[in-house]
Amino acid sequence: MAANVVDNLFMAATSARLLRVLSLLTARPEWSGADLADRLGISARTLRRDIESLRDIGYPVVAVSGRGGGYALRAAAASRSGAGRELPPLLLDDGQAVAIAVALQTAPTTIAGIDDAAAGALAALRTTMPARLRLEVDAMHLITVRNYWEFPAPPIAAATLTEVGRAIRNGHVLRFEHLDADGGRPHPSEANFEPPRHVEPHHLLVWAGRWYLVAYEPNPPRGRTPGWVVLRVDRIRPSTPTGTPFVRRPLPDRDVARYVMRSHDRGDTPAKWPCQGSVLMQLPAAVVAEFAPGGSVVEWVTNVSSRLILGAWSWAGVAGLLATFDADLSEVEPAELRSACATLATRLAGASRSG
């Protein structure tokens, strides 16, 4: 009996260590043998045995040449050998399983139907967990509450993201219809009607609950010049794939996130606040666009000035937001906002004297 208990404990410890080895191999493209053994707290000999055990159950762990040698988990290794096998079912350690469960419960609703898909994925994941881990996940039943300042775009059809992502991956020109801010499409007889647009898609980015596409448009609609554009994906309706390849261009900024955040002309629209105003601000549009709250719109005026349209739950709230930019303001509209700015100035002056 005692021998069986010892054997079971040994097997459990070995299995847990194999899972840890696999987790580390998936977290980094390559590991040196010394670093991996040190991270696991085992000898190089024990590590070699664990690697062989993973190979025996079908995981394609390959040896990496170099100083001291190393290991890597390569999905393509099996196909190169001619076996054509896929990776065995994914194994997760406790921390990874809990992290995925939390992520599924807090997934943003920016993709149509993602709630049902996330719930189904969580249910499937839960069935693979040991009882103790299911209890831990169940104890973290989460409820997400929307903040007043969150203004996500309308949910995007999964098919739209698939088509846009495929065009980016394949390096093909994307042909699409561009919708109005309210989701409609002008009739061909209307003055603001645009024919289908063609862009060279480069990157997808999610910021402030909105999906953006960074692309180069060689033949833009009338009134625009060829160049880089940032488009709201919720206003894109892809047409039949073109299959037309394009040569990738150097990006306008090596930091794509910064480029999107500093682009004032990215299709954003004013949020529906009870109070909404506009001001001419002595700051460049790129600076204002990066720090303006969600649901606001920035318009370029000159290289050193821009117009900001924003709202809040009160006129005092709008005035307070304007003060955070620490810039000279003019052309303040409407009158209620001018009055709120005067009141705020009086209060701040009193606060400065009270100290």
Specify the CATH number for the domain of residue 294.
3.30.70.250
Domain CATH code at residue 6: 1.10.10.10
240 and 301 together in one domain: no
Q: Pairing mode, if any, of strands 275-281 and 61-64?
A: unpaired
Q: What are phi and psi of 31, to 5 degrees?
A: -130, 140
Structural domain total, the chain: 4
Percent of the chain as helix, strand, coil, to the nearest 5: 40, 20, 40
Q: What is the pLDDT along the chain (355 residues), one digit of tens a residue?
A: 444 544 444 444 456 677 778 778 877 778 888 888 888 888 888 888 888 888 877 778 888 876 667 888 875 444 444 444 444 555 666 777 777 777 777 766 677 767 777 777 777 777 766 677 777 777 766 777 766 677 777 788 888 988 999 999 999 999 999 887 766 676 666 666 678 899 999 999 988 778 899 999 999 887 789 999 999 999 999 999 999 999 999 999 989 999 999 999 998 888 889 999 999 999 999 999 999 988 899 999 999 999 999 999 999 999 999 999 999 999 999 999 999 999 999 998 888 887 6
The CA distance from 231 to 174, in Å, is: 12
Domain-located, residue 304: yes
112 and 173 together in one domain: no
The pLDDT value recorded for residue 69 is 77
Are 25 and 31 a contacting pair, CB within 8 Å?
Answer: yes
Domain final residue pick, 261, 293, 312: 261
User: HSE on the CB side for 66, CA within 13 Å?
Assistant: 12
162 and 244 together in one domain: yes
The CA distance from 136 to 336, in Å, is: 52
228 and 192 together in one domain: yes
The pLDDT value recorded for residue 132 is 74
164 and 248 together in one domain: yes
The pLDDT value recorded for residue 282 is 97
Domain-located, residue 29: yes
257 and 281 together in one domain: no
E-strand stretches of the chain: 31-32, 61-64, 70-73, 174-178, 197-207, 210-217, 227-232, 236-238, 275-281, 297-302, 305-312, 329-333
Are 309 and 303 a contacting pair, CB within 8 Å?
Answer: no
Domain final residue pick, 218, 239, 261: 261
Domain-located, residue 20: yes
Domain final residue pick, 261, 288, 320: 261
Domain-located, residue 87: no
Q: Which domain holds residue 67?
A: 2-77
222 and 313 together in one domain: no
The pLDDT value recorded for residue 3 is 46
7 and 52 together in one domain: yes
306 and 331 together in one domain: yes
64 and 116 together in one domain: no
The pLDDT value recorded for residue 297 is 94
Of 312, 331, 308, the closest CA to residue 320 belongs to 312
57 and 111 together in one domain: no
Domain-located, residue 204: yes
Domain-located, residue 174: yes
165 and 257 together in one domain: yes
Domain-located, residue 179: yes
Of 91, 168, 182, the closest CA to residue 130 belongs to 91
Domain-located, residue 186: yes
